[in-house]
Structure 1
Amino acid sequence: MDLPIEVPAGGLNWTPRPKGNRILITGGAGTVASLITEQLSKSYELVGIDAAPIENRDFAETHKADLGDDALLDRLVQDADYVLHLATGAPGGKQGIYATEMDATNRILASAIAHGTRRVILASSNHAAGWPERELIAGTGNGHVKPCHLPRPDGLYGAAKAYMEALGRFASDSSGLPVSVLRLGTMRNSMSLQELIDSGEMPHLGFGEFREQRLRRTWLTGNDLVEILLEEFAAKEPYRLRYATSSPCQDQWDHTVYSG
């Protein structure tokens, strides 16, 4: 089923469904989902979809399916009060990124408009505005960026996330659909922050004091993400964009919420 987002000729066309507690989570087998479902399942009925098996009993319902399954995705969105789009196609290279960050996002938003989803939350990334950090690493800038600044992607993945953000803003502006965009920081389900600092991951950050400061600044725990999600579920603004880390007081990533 083709569900393009189109500017409605007669004005806003989103009408919220009656309030409920069902959340559809794409990427349900992924790292981010594994860190938040236990808490969310205490207050919400969770439905997960992922191309990989979801071995997580916090979900009331799971589907092993690709997001390219239009009929299934539309049905799941139709029954959801909120959609949390965590899936990423990054492991599949440029084709995977196009299929998930771009095409699937478009279809999720269109379905959400049609079915009155109360809010869609899009998992973006700091890489959508990662060029200032590249300048910081190179010693040519201070790395400071606000969510209201224009995107400055630091690669194809970041450019796809910027596209995702633009789709969310367009869907919200054109229909009235509430959309939240979260530029997620660094999350791991198999190691602590200190273990990540001591590891060989992210070699582009180098090693030593800069690496430690950067990872402490960008680290995001499941508990803190849940708090942020609860704020977004309750938000009134039709569009919100924010950074999401466990260290909101910092000089580089401004954590104010942009809703202009």
Structure 2
Amino acid sequence: MDLPVQAPASGLPWEPRPQGKRILITGAAGSVASLISGQLSESYELIGLDAAPIENDDFVETHQADLNDEALLTRLISEADYVLHLATGAADGKDGLYAIEIDATNRILAAAIQHGTRRVVLASSNHAAGWHEREHLAGRGDGHVKPSDPPRPDGMYGAAKAYMEALGRFASDSSGLPVSVLRIGTMRANMSLQELIDSDELAYLGFGEFREQRLKRTWLTGDDLVAMLLDEFNAPEPYRLRFATSTPEQYEWDHSVYTGGS
């Protein structure tokens, strides 16, 4: 696979394109995109890309195609000011995670460096640091984790997201490309938080007080995600990583923004 472009000894290869309002969103047919597209479309032109049909009028342009269509992906990135990489291959297991979280992320970062994308936002997950929660469930540790702590995945999905985060950091360090990583919590398009708590989804959390408290801690609304995205689009730091939930006032996940320092 092609790795993101490395910086030559003479200087950084990334140079920002002129300020614009065009966002390329991968995974545009998914539920996360449906929760944020309405508000984002009030200020930005949204371009959607997904292997599934995109039935959403908030997008001014849509493309039904796989992310392995390198020519199309590169063209769309060359025309975009920002890229929001929401797509995931989780439904297709190991092969899907490799194709989307790893291989497609490489393509996106390399093209963004080449064409001066102003910022790439990568949709990671709390599962990239999910082992802290498993220890907490087992009675070891308090579940507290900072975005600056080393990743501790709780499965293949979390490991793929941790790999994605590392690719974003490498691309930013090596070229100067602005990259933001959001460890997204729990979102649902057609279900309230209480309905999710009362449902049989996510059975591994159990059905008692821990389940309720955990889902309240990880819940993320579309409104709050939009606010975070606007922060990221306008952030000055070349690299940013944060937990993305609607409950910053809780202990387990530190909601500070890690900007790459020690």
Bin for the TM-score computed over the shorter chain: over 0.9
Report how many aligned residue pairs link the two structures.
Answer: 259
1:244-259 maps to which residues of 2 (within 5 A)? 244-259=244-259
Tell me whether 207-216 or 22-31 shows the greater mean CA deviation.
Answer: 207-216
The 1-side partners of 2:5 and 2:65 are apart by 26
1:8 paired with 2:7, answer yes
Q: Deviations over 1:97-144 (max 9, x none)?
A: 000000000000000000000000000000001000001111111100
The CA RMSD measured in Å over matched residues stands at: 0.8
What's 2:43 paired with? Answer: 43
Q: Deviations over 1:170-224 (max 9, x none)?
A: 0000000000000000000011000000000111111111110110110000000
TM-score (norm 1): 0.98
Q: Deviations over 1:49-90 (max 9, x none)?
A: 000000000000000000000000000000000000000000
The 2-side partners of 1:229 and 1:97 are apart by 24
Paired letter, 1:52: A
Paired letter, 2:150: L
What's 1:21 paired with? Answer: 21
TM-score (norm 2): 0.98
The 2-side partners of 1:44 and 1:205 are apart by 38
> Identity percentage over the alignment?
74
What's 1:74 paired with? Answer: 74
Q: Is the 8 A contact 2:5 2:113 kept in 1?
A: no
What's 1:121 paired with? Answer: 121
The 2-side partners of 1:233 and 1:220 are apart by 19
The 1-side partners of 2:4 and 2:41 are apart by 31
Q: Is the 8 A contact 1:48 1:63 kept in 2?
A: yes
| Structure 1: gaps of 5 or more residues | none
C-alpha displacement of 1:3? 5.1
Q: Deviations over 1:30-51 (max 9, x none)?
A: 0100000000000000000000
What's 2:185 paired with? Answer: 185
The 2-side partners of 1:124 and 1:188 are apart by 16
SS of aligned partner of 1:46: strand
